[in-house]
Structure 1
Amino acid sequence: MSRIGRWLTEPVPLGRVAAFRTLIHLFVVADLLVFTPWVRSRADVPGDLYRPLLVGRLLHLPTPTTAGVTAVFWALLTLSLLAATGRAPRLLGWTVFALYFEWMLIAMSYGKVDHDRVGLLVALAALATVGRARHGDPTRSEAGGWALRVTQIAVICTYFLAAWAKLRFGGIDWVTGSVLARAIIRRGTDLADLIAQVPYLLIVAQFGIVAFELLSPVVFLLPERWRLAMVGFFYSFHAVTMATITISFAPHLAAMTSFLPLERVRPLTWLRRPAGAEPPDGREPEPPVGDDPGRLVGPVPAADPAG
C-alpha cells in the first residue's frame, strides 16, 4: 500500500468509530428538532419557487410537498435514533444518509446554500461503510480509520475552500473591506459592538480569518498533541463567532469531532462503575469484538493515542 493509502486508512479504535457514529446520528435528530425545523415549512412554499440544486436536477427529484416533507422528517427522526444505537450499521447508515441528503436538498433549493453541512454529509456516508463497532472496543480498524479520515478531509476542505471563495469572488476587498462590520450591524451581539469600537481590529480579524482558513490543512502535518491543540483552536474560533455574530456552524462542529479521541468519553461506564472503583490494570475492560468490525488489525492499549 502506498504512503497516501496508509495515511487514509490509518487504523483507529473501533470504540472511537462507535462513539462518533452515535454522536453524528444523535446530531441529526437535534438538527431536525432544533437547528433546521424550518425545513418543514418548505412544503408550504409555492412550487414555482423551487430551484433544485444540480444534484437534485440530475436525480429528477420531485418538488417538495406536504406529504413528502413530512414523511422524510418522521422517517429520518426515527431511523437516526435507531442508527445511533449501532444496530444494522450499513442498512440504517445508508438509509439515514439518503434521507438527510434529501432533507438538505429540500432546505437548500430555495436560494440559500449553507456550506457547514459538507462534513456532516460525508460523515454519514463514510460511517455507513463501516461494519459493527462497539463502544470501548480498543481493536483497531482500517475501515474505521478511513471513515474518520475522509470526514476530517471534508472538514478541512470546508475551511480552505471558504477562503478560496472569499478571495475568488471578493478579492482583496474581502479582507480590507467592511465584511465583519456589516455582519455586526445585521446580527451582532453586545460583545461584537464592543469589539467594533477598537480601530482597525475588524480588518485585522478579516486577515486572520482568511489566513487561518488557508492554513487549516497544516493540521494533518502536526503530531497528535499539537493536532488536538489546533482543533481546539478551531472550536474556539467558532465559539467567538457565535458570541459575536451568532453563527453556530453546529453541523460542522459535530463533524469535526472526527479528530478527537472520542473512545475515551464513556459516560455509561462511569455511571455504572462503583464510586472510587478503578479497572484492575488502569484500563477499561475490553468487550468482545462485533460481528463485522471491518478490517481489523489487533488490539492496542486504550490509552495509546490514535492517529
Structure 2
Amino acid sequence: MSATTTPAPGDPATHVHPVHRALRAGTAWFLAPVPLARVAAFRVLIYAFVVLDVLWIRTSVIPHGYVPELYRPTWVARAVHLPPLTPLQGEILLWALLAACAAGVVAVVTGRLQRTTGTLVALGFWVWMLNSQGYGYISHDHLALMVAVTVLPTAGLTRLRDHTPSQAAGWAMRVIQIGVVATYFGSAVLKWMRAGSPAGWANSAVFVWAIMRRGSPLVRWTLEYPWLLIVAQWGLYLIELLSPVVLWLRGRWLYVAVSTFLLFHLATFLALGIHFLPTVVCWAAFLPLERLPFLRTRAAR
C-alpha cells in the first residue's frame, strides 16, 4: 500500500494565487453540471409558454402594422435595422413562430434538430418582442424569457429521461437564473436611480396610486392604513435588492425563496391584475425538473 504524499509548505502546488482560486471557483459555479433531462423539460415548458405568450400576452405585433408611424425602435432594433412589420409580415411571423415552437417540442421528444428549432424560436421571438416593445412600452417581465430562448439552443442534444450531467446544460440554466434575478435586482436599481435614494421610492405613494387605479376589492381596504402600504413597499424593495442571494441558495432555502417570489406574484395578480407570467415560468430554471415522476428513470426511482 503506497503512502500518501503531502506537499511541502514551500511546494508551488500549495500556493495558488487568490485570483486564480477565485476564477476556478467562479468557473465551477457557472458551469456546475445539471442533468440533461432538466434542460429538456425546461425546453418543453418554455416553447409551450411562448405559444401562450404570442397568442394571449403580447398580441400587439399585428395591430402595430397598421400604425407604423408610431414605431420607435429600441436600441437593439436600431442596431439590427429592424423595420416596423406590416400586418401581413406580422401574420407570417406569428405562424412561423408557432410552427417553430411546435417543432421545438417535437425535437425534444425525438432527440433531433434541437439546436435548429431552438434557434428558429429564438430568432422569431426576438423579432416579435422587438416589434412589440417599439411602440412605447417596455415589458421587463419578458427579460428572463428572452434570455431563456436565446441560450437554450446552446445546451445541445437533451432527452427527457437522460440524467447525464452536462456542463453545457448547467451553463444554460445558470444564465437563465441570472436573467430571472436581474429582473428584480434591475428593478430595485431603477427605483433607486429614479427616486434618488432607496427611501425615496419605499416611502412614496406608489402602492396607493396603483390600488386607486386598478386595485381589486381584496386590497382597497388598505388605503385606510397608509403605514401598512409603506411597510409593504419596503418589503418589496428589500426582496428585489436581495434577490441575487437566490443564486447561491440550495435545498430547502432555495424552495423557500422561489415560493416567496411566486407568492408575491400571486398576491400582485389578485390585488392588481398584474400576472408577470413570463418571469414566473422562468423560475422553473431553479428547480430539479428531472425529478418529476414521469421523467425519472427506473434506476433513479
Q: Which residue matches 2:169? A: 144
- Equivalences for residues 214-229 of structure 1 within 5 A: 214-229=241-256
Are the counterparts in 2 of residues 181 and 196 from structure 1 also a CA contact under 8 Å?
A: yes
If each structure's helix is expressed as a fraction of its own residues, which one has the higher value?
A: 2
> Greater relative contact order: 1 or 2 (C-alpha under 8 angstroms, separation 6 or more)?
1
Q: Which residue matches 2:89? A: 68
Matched residue of 2:165: which SS? strand
User: Which one of the candidate residues 32, 35, 44 is aligned to 2:66?
Assistant: 44
Are the counterparts in 1 of residues 35 and 164 from structure 2 also a CA contact under 8 Å?
A: yes
> Could you tell me the TM-score, scaled by structure 1's length?
0.85
User: Which one of the candidate residues 213, 223, 227 is aligned to 1:186?
Assistant: 213
Which stretches in structure 1 are left out of the alignment for 5+ residues?
Answer: 270-282, 287-301
Q: Which residue matches 1:230? A: 257
1:193-250 deviation line (CA, Å, top 9, x unaligned): 1333334111111111110001111112323221121111111111111111111111
Distance 1:197 1:25 in 2: 44
Are the counterparts in 1 of residues 177 and 247 from structure 2 also a CA contact under 8 Å?
A: no
Which stretches in structure 2 are left out of the alignment for 5+ residues?
Answer: 1-22
Distance 2:224 2:269 in 1: 19
Q: Which residue matches 1:279? A: none
Distance 2:222 2:284 in 1: 29
Matched residue of 2:218: which SS? helix
- 2:51 pairs with 1:29: yes
Distance 2:277 2:28 in 1: 31
The Cα shift of 1:29 comes to 0.5
User: Which one of the candidate residues 2, 5, 10 is aligned to 2:32?
Assistant: 10
- State the AA in 1 paired with 2:188: A
The Cα shift of 1:257 comes to 0.7
Q: Which residue matches 1:284? A: 297
Moved more, 29-38 or 106-115: 29-38
Structure number with larger C-alpha Rg: 2
Are the counterparts in 2 of residues 136 and 266 from structure 1 also a CA contact under 8 Å?
A: no
Distance 1:121 1:198 in 2: 39
- 2:75 pairs with 1:54: yes
- Runs (4 or more) in structure 1 with deviation over 6 Å come to none
User: Which one of the candidate residues 97, 117, 140 is aligned to 1:92?
Assistant: 117
Distance 2:159 2:168 in 1: 14
Moved more, 103-112 or 77-86: 77-86
Q: Which residue matches 1:296? A: none
Matched residue of 2:60: which SS? helix
- Equivalences for residues 123-202 of structure 1 within 5 A: 123-171=148-196, 172-202=199-229
Moved more, 189-198 or 104-113: 189-198
Moved more, 218-227 or 66-75: 218-227
The Cα shift of 1:102 comes to 0.5
Distance 1:201 1:68 in 2: 49
- State the AA in 2 paired with 1:107: S
Matched residue of 1:136: which SS? coil
Distance 2:270 2:213 in 1: 14
The Cα shift of 1:114 comes to 0.7
Q: Which residue matches 2:3? A: none
User: Kindly, what percent of the aligned residue pairs are identical?
Assistant: 41
Matched residue of 1:137: which SS? coil
Are the counterparts in 2 of residues 76 and 96 from structure 1 also a CA contact under 8 Å?
A: yes
User: Which one of the candidate residues 125, 132, 137 is aligned to 1:112?
Assistant: 137
Moved more, 143-152 or 188-197: 188-197
> What CA RMSD, in Å, does the superposition of the two structures yield over aligned residues?
1.6
Are the counterparts in 2 of residues 43 and 66 from structure 1 also a CA contact under 8 Å?
A: yes
The Cα shift of 1:266 comes to 4.4
Are the counterparts in 2 of residues 89 and 130 from structure 1 also a CA contact under 8 Å?
A: no
